[in-house]
Structure 1
Amino acid sequence: MVQPTHFGRYSVIRRLGNGGFAAVWLARDEELDAEVAVKVLAEHWVDDLDVRRRFVEEGRFLRKVESPYVIGVHDSGTTDDERPFLVLTYADRGTLADRIKDGPLPLAEALEVIENVSSGLQELHDRGVLHRDVKPENVLFRSTPTGERAMLGDLGLGKSLDKVSRVTMPGGTPAYVAPEQVRGDVLDPRADLYALAAVTYAALSGRPPYSATTLAAVLAVDGPPAPLETVPAAVNEVIRRGLSKDRDQRWPDVRSFAEALHAAAEAPAKTRRLTLNPWVAATVAAALLGGAGGYLGWQYGVQHQTVRVMDKSQALSVELPREWARTRAGDGWQPQGATSQLPGLLVSRDNNRWTGSDADVPGIFIGVLPTGQLPSAATLLVPATCAASADQTDTPSTATVKYAGCPAGMTTYERVKQFGEKLVRIEVRAEDAAQAEQVLDSVEYKPRS
Structure 2
Amino acid sequence: MVQPSHFGRYVVIRRLGSGGFAAVWLVRDEELDAEVAVKVLAEHWVDDLDVRRRFVEEGRFLRKVESPYVVGVHDIGTTDDDRPFLVLTYADRGTLADRIEAGPLSLADTVDVIENVSAGLQELHDRGVLHRDVKPENVLFRSTPTGERAMLGDLGLGKSLEAVSRVTMPGGTPAYVAPEQVRGDVLDPRADLYALAAVTYAALAGRPPYGAKTLAAVLAVDGPPASLRTVRDDLPAEVETVILRGLSQDREQRWPDARSYAEALRAASQASIPEAATGRSSARPWIAATIVAALLGSTAGYLGWQYGVNRQWVRVVDQQQVLSVELPRDWTQNRAGSGWQPQGATASLPGLLVSDNNNDWAKAGSTVSGVFAGVLPPGQLPDANNLPGPSGCTVSPEAITKDSTATVRYLGCPAGMTTYERVKQFQGQLVRIQVRAKDAAQAEKVLDSVDYKPK
| Smaller-chain TM-score bracket | 0.5 to 0.7
- Aligned partner of residue 176 in structure 1, secondary structure: coil
Question: Which runs of structure 1 show a deviation greater than 6 angstroms over 4 or more consecutive aligned residues?
Answer: 268-274
Q: Does 1:7 align with 2:7?
A: yes
2 CA distance for matches of 1:268 and 1:42?
A: 47
Residue 110 of structure 1 corresponds to which residue in structure 2?
Answer: 110
- Letter in structure 2 aligned against 1:250: R
2: CA distance between counterparts of 1:77 and 1:269? 50
CA deviation string 1:362-408 (max 9, x = no partner): xxxxxxxxxxxxxxxxxxxxxxxxxxxxxxxxxxxxxxxxxxxxxxx
2:163 corresponds in structure 1 to 163
1:152 has 2:160 as partner:
no
Counterpart of 1:19?
19
Aligned partner of residue 102 in structure 2, secondary structure: coil
The Cα shift of 1:273 comes to: 7.6
Deviations 1:184-216 (A, max 9, x none): 000000000000000000011110001210000
2:121 is matched with which residue?
A: 121
- Report the Cα offset of residue 266 of structure 1: 1.8
Offset from partner CA, 1:108-142 (integer Å, 9 cap, x none):
11111000000000000000000000000000000
| Aligned residue among 240, 262, 267 for 2:266 | 262
Pairing 1:238–2:276 present: no
CA distance in 2 between partners of 1:154 and 1:209 (Å): 22
> What are the Cα deviations for residues 47-71 of structure 1, in whole angstroms up to 9, with x where unaligned?
0000000000000000000000000
Indicate the larger mover: 210-219 or 260-269: 260-269
Q: Which residue of 2 aligns with 1:383?
A: none
1:249 equivalent to 2:253? Answer yes
Amino acid at match of 2:174: P
Assess, with a 3 A threshold, how the Cα gap between structure 1 residues 80 and 273 changes in structure 2: closer, same or farther.
closer
What SS does the aligned partner of 2:170 have?
Answer: coil
- Provide the rounded CA distance (Å) in 2 between the counterparts of 1:169 and 1:241: 26
Equivalent residue for 1:44? 44
Residues 125-174 of structure 1, C-alpha deviations (whole Å, 9 max, x = no match): 00000000000000000000001000000000000000010231100000
Between 54-63 and 166-175, the greater mean CA deviation after superposition = 166-175
What is the alpha-carbon distance in structure 1 between the residues aligned to residue 167 and residue 82 of structure 2? 30
Give the whole-Å Cα distance in 2 for the aligned partners of 1:149 and 1:78: 30
Q: For the residues of structure 2 that align with 1:179 and 1:164, how far apart are their CA atoms?
A: 15
Which has the greater radius of gyration? 1
| Pair 1:206-2:209 in alignment | no
Matched, 1:59 2:59: yes
Distance, in Å, in 2 between the alignment partners of 1:144 and 1:211 is 33
Could you tell me how far 1:102 is from its partner in structure 2? 1.1
Task: Specify the SS of the correspondent of 2:154.
Answer: coil
Residue pair 2:178, 2:194 contacting (<8 A) in 1 also: yes
Pairing 1:308-387 to 2, within 5 Å after superposition: none
Look up the SS of the partner of 1:105 in the other structure: coil
Map of 1:141 onto structure 2 = 141
% of aligned pairs identical?
83
Distance 1:4 1:211 in 2: 37
Q: How big is the shift at 1:267?
A: 4.0
Amino acid at match of 2:219: L
CA deviations over 1:409-441 (Å, ceiling 9, x no partner): xxxxxxxxxxxxxxxxxxxxxxxxxxxxxxxxx
Aligned to 2:406: none
Does 1:178 find its partner at 2:182? no
With over 3 angstroms needed to count, the CA separation of the structure-2 counterparts of 1:10 and 1:264, relative to structure 1, is same
Please give the alpha-carbon distance, in whole angstroms, between the structure 1 residues aligned to 2:131 and 2:98: 21
d(CA) in 2 for partners of 1:270 and 1:111?
17
Q: 1:102 to 1:269 in 2, by over 3 A?
A: closer
Is the contact between residue 236 and residue 271 of structure 2 (CA under 8 Å) also seen in structure 1? Answer: no
Counterpart for residue 438 of structure 1: none
Q: How far 1:228 sits from its partner (Å)?
A: 1.4
CA shift for structure 1 position 80: 0.5
Q: SS at 2:37's partner residue?
A: strand
Unaligned 5+ segments in structure 1 are: 275-292, 295-338, 341-449
| Aligned twin of 2:288 | none
Work out whether residues 235 and 272 of structure 2, in 8 Å CA contact, stay in contact via their aligned partners in 1. no
Alpha-carbon distance in structure 2 between the residues aligned to 1:187 and 1:200: 21
1:80 aligns with 2:80: yes
Measured against aligned partners, the alpha-carbon deviations of 1:15-64 in whole angstroms (never above 9, x if no partner) come to 00111100000000010000000000000000000000000000000000
Task: Identify unmatched segments of 5+ residues in structure 2.
Answer: 280-292, 295-363, 366-455
Are 2:73 and 2:89, in contact at CA under 8 Å, matched by a contact in 1? Answer: yes
Number of equivalent positions = 279
TM-score (norm 2): 0.59
d(CA) in 1 for partners of 2:226, 2:2: 46
- What letter is aligned with 1:145? P
